[in-house]
Amino acid sequence: MIRIDNLIKHFGRTKALDGISFNVNKGELFGLLGPNGAGKTTTVRIISTLIIPTKGKVEVNGYELPKNASIIRNFIGYVPQALSSDGSLTGYENLLIFAKLVGLNKRDREKKINELIDLMELGDFSRKLVREYSGGMVRKLEIAQALLHNPEILLLDEPTVGLDPVSRRSVWYVLLTLQKQYETTILLTTHYMEEAEALCERIAIMDHGKIVTIGTPQEIIKQTGAKSLENAFIVLTGHSVDEGGNFNELRRIRKTARRLQ
Amino acid sequence: MREGILMSLGESEKQQEGYNKSLSSKIKKWINDSLTLGEMEARRLRHDPTELFTRAVQPVLWLLVFGETFTRIKAIPTGGVPYIAFMTPGILSQSVLFISIFYGLALIWD
């Protein structure tokens, strides 16, 4: 579904991605795990057609980037780390505006919005202003927004950052439902070990713009001889997942976390 | 097979493909998107109409405070035109320009 081969991305003199390669299979829930500044967001932003790679091959559903970006946008849904819903509108209105922007006709629009409100269990809250929602409900609304045009692939950048444990689990439940019930291919980034272990069938551990290893969480633990994924990460990279990242990345994450609380 | 809610949009998918093809469809989509963003702003204002008042405060203050002051002290020659009449078009243009810039930036972020 997604094929990435020797992907390189430079921002000026900074090498954000240093020749990464991985595949995401159809219907798979794949995770990019790494500390802040590892290159996870850059990878997702390239796949979501928001930035152009410096070098390397990116193929989504058989179409190559960047020349087929407009076609690829039709079958990917993207939930960015920063908030994409409008707090001064209701949940229903947010979905309505997104539905109009992705070009759904009037008949499909109402049906699809109501079905997604049910799927995300937003119920009566859909008529309330989003600024009154809990962090978990905001994230579920944003996932619903990304699903309006029926994408086969869902990309999520740190979907549970800043959420309390209960909200985090409710988002996990939604993602697992989408994958198991609707066979949606999901690629997410995270720096939470327990999230990667609980959700992802396979993970790629990233550090300093490179992929250190790819496999199922169990395979990675076994391969390193560690007791947990967290220890396996330390064995593979030489540091814990909490280290790394620069001031701007930390500020961005904290800003998102503050707005979700 | 992907079933249920995620398979109910055949018509819309065709519509999207259409959007990607011809120039007239692209223009149609551009107009629709612009109207949708306008609708979004209108809905925001409906939920919080006080914003209309706060946006009007600055030009009104300019007219009342500076307008009245300069009318009294006659510091700027206006060629016989009342100072409020001399100032109003400029204040309105400035307000329109500033609000357009702020809204433009907000739209880019959206």
Question: In chain B, which among 29-58 make CB contacts under 8 A with chain A?
Answer: 29, 32-33, 36, 39-40, 43-44, 47-48
ipTM of predicted assembly, 2 dp: 0.75
| Contact between chains at A182 and B9 (C-beta distance less than 8 A) | no
Q: Note whether A181 contacts B: Cβ–Cβ < 8 A.
A: yes
Amino acid letter, A38: A
In terms of DSSP bridges, do strands A14-24 and A2-11 run parallel, antiparallel, or are they unpaired? Answer: antiparallel
pLDDT at B56: 82
- For A134-170, the pLDDT digits (tens) are 888 999 999 999 999 989 999 999 998 888 888 889 8
| Contact between chains at B39 and A108 (C-beta distance less than 8 A) | no
Rounded to a whole number of angstroms, the distance from the CA of B16 to the nearest CA of chain A is 6
- For B21-44, the pLDDT digits (tens) are 688 888 888 999 999 999 998 999
pLDDT at B24: 86
From the list B4, B12, B33, which residue is nearest A105 (CB)?
B12
| Residues A186, A133, A40, B110, CA torsion sign | positive
Q: Note whether A86 contacts B: Cβ–Cβ < 8 A.
A: yes
For residue A47, the Cα-to-chain-centroid distance in whole angstroms is 11
Q: Note whether A89 contacts B: Cβ–Cβ < 8 A.
A: yes
Q: Are A30 and A202 in contact (CB under 8 A)?
A: yes
Strands of the sheet containing A202-207, edge to edge, are A76-79, A153-157, A185-190, A29-33, A202-207, A210-215
pLDDT < 70: residue spans in chain B:
1-21
Amino acid letter, B61: L
> What pTM was computed for the model?
0.81
Asked whether residue A31 carries a pLDDT value surpassing 80, the answer given is yes
- For A95-109, the pLDDT digits (tens) are 999 999 988 888 889
Rounded to a whole number of angstroms, the distance from the CA of B12 to the nearest CA of chain A is 5
Amino acid letter, A84: S
Question: In chain A, which among 97-126 make CB contacts under 8 A with chain B?
Answer: 97, 100-105, 107-108, 111-112, 115-116, 119
Chain A residues in contact with B44 by the CB 8 A cut-off are: 86, 88-89
pLDDT at A245: 59
Average pLDDT in chain A: 89
